[in-house]
Structure 1
Amino acid sequence: MIEIVTLCANASRGAVALECEWLGGKCGGAPAIVFLAKGTIDPSSDWPARLVRTLGLRGLVCGLAGGLSLRDQARDILPALFEALDIDPRMWIVGYREGATIALLYAAEHPRGLAGAILIAPRMFSQSPQVAHLLRARAAFEPAKLRERFACHAAHHEWTIEGELHGLRCPLLAIRDFPDDDGSAASHIDLLELHAHRADRLETHAHEGTAEFPPLDPMIRFISAHSPLSR
């Protein structure tokens, strides 16, 4: 059942109401997996329930707050929500696109807290084809001295979380979405692989268009291998 969790106002924002849905029951301790939905929860999407059921764990699906930046979601909203629900920080976070970006930012802010994160089609920078081309080219030629040359161009285009990726420490599984026409889908993963070298483990999974999306099998294997709850 979907319920509304209201976060009290603070110095930088008003009160925020979030949709949340418990998977596997609300009682019995903190959830093992937190899923970040986009906006409101889609009740027709049943793969989170199938994932936690297969693993024998509990889960919590969280809608994202509207009108706030991805960094505000990661640094303000998620910590406030976890505190309000008394959730143990040693959890898994699963996010898709914007949710994956928020999961990365949260993981970078809490490098020793998370059990791990699963990132489905994460976004590391704005979807400008020029930015995608520049960042992918730079990743391909690192550690050659091209950083300064590309940085001056990429800096003029909206946003990137490149600077935060060095803080990642927990195990990470990145799943590619269907390829974009401009090739940026691969560029996001390239940038993650370049800067997340301090993560305990980083694996990538290339989704095939004929397979189920998101693919549950690689998630099940990864969580089973790396979760403290599975040992």
Structure 2
Amino acid sequence: MTQRQFLETANARLEYQFVQSEASTGPTLVLLHEGLGSLELWKDFPVQLAEVCNAPVLIYSRQGYGRSSPVPLPRSLDYLGMDGPDELARVLDGLGLEQVVLVGHSDGASIALAYAARQDPRVRGVVVLAPHVDVEPASVEGVRRTVRAYTRGDLRERLHAYHGDNLDGAFRGWSETWLNPAFAAWSLYRELPCIQVPLLAIQGYEDEFATPAQLETIARNVAGPCRTVMLEHCRHFPQNQARPRVLALIAEFLATLPG
């Protein structure tokens, strides 16, 4: 594992880190974190992913998260479809990555799907964990519960260790966007038919932020090969709550990608 480094882009200074095993080959797996995530909040998942898949892994904190630059508020209501993918393009360019597989969780999964729709030839495939392609009542209620935990419980203290001075901006940028009534119209319906690369979509049956309709919509609308997997006894964090199965599924998926 390399030490944490910083990439200077036209818009922000982003923290990033590469993880790889001695046998790492093939495309780089680019991890895109969730709406309250960061480089550090992936914890030991990137190390295990690199070992199981024998692939290099890139993790980075998007602007406004972790130790990356702050983000101006309010966020754009299309930050998942435009801002996040635009930033990802700057990361791929800045680090000179030539072949990648995007692995996104929750908000990061939405960004991965939106970026795949741009048909960048560097993207060989996409893995999405608990993705959002539209705004469901379950999503809004899940955000409301999280806001209550942040204001009344210990969630703020726990997240501060990962975001530092970015914490309130990260939390407000996420929660205020999802709870904005105008955000209810957001979706990736136009982007999904443009996704031609192989796709693996994973979700827990007990996901407290979404229903299985998310995976059904993806499978019905993407143009490329798509495998969807619903996991028993799993909520919104498959990479933590069903890690052995998720690692195996991703390794199987990578083995199927065209050479």
C-alpha distance in structure 2 between counterparts of 1:44 and 1:108, whole Å: 25
Superposed CA offset, 1:158-177 (max 9, x none): 31111111100000000013
Task: Determine which of 112, 124, 129 is the counterpart of 1:120.
Answer: 129
| Structure 1 CA distance for aligned equivalents of residues 213 and 28 of structure 2 | 30
1:212: which partner in 2? 242
Matched residue, 1:148: none
Identity, % of aligned positions:
22
Q: Which of 194, 206, 211 is residue 185 of structure 1 equivalent to?
A: 211
**Equivalence map 1:96-175=2 (5 Å):** 96-110=105-119, 112-128=121-137, 157-175=184-202
What is the number of residues matched between the two proteins?
193
Q: What is the alpha-carbon distance in structure 1 between the residues aligned to residue 199 and residue 130 of structure 2?
A: 13
- Quote the RMSD (CA, aligned, Å): 2.8
Tell me the equivalent position of 1:23. 19
Indicate conservation of the 8 Å contact 2:27/2:55, yes or no: yes
Q: Which residue number corresponds to residue 50 of structure 2?
A: 52
Runs of 4+ in 1 over 4 A off after TM superposition: 28-31
1:82 is matched with 92
Using the TM superposition, give the Cα deviation of residue 74 of structure 1 relative to its aligned residue in structure 2, in angstroms.
Answer: 4.0
**1:209–1:130 Cα change, 3 Å:** closer
- Gapped regions of structure 2 (runs ≥ 5): 65-70, 141-181, 235-240
- Is 1:6 aligned with 2:8? yes
Give, as a single letter, the amino acid of the residue that structure 1 aligns with 2:89: P
The AA in structure 2 aligned to 1:19 is: E
Does the residue aligned with 1:109 lie in a helix, a strand or coil? coil
Check conservation: 2:53, 2:251, Cα contact below 8 A.
yes
Structure 1 residue runs of 5 or longer lacking an equivalent are: 9-14, 132-154
Contact residue 98 and residue 123 of structure 1 kept, 8 A: yes
- Show the counterpart of 2:144: none
CA shift for structure 1 position 225: 1.8
Identify which of structures 1 and 2 has the higher relative contact order when contacts are C-alpha pairs closer than 8 Å and 6+ apart: 2
What is the CA distance between 1:50 and its match in structure 2?
0.9
TM-score, L = length of structure 1: 0.73
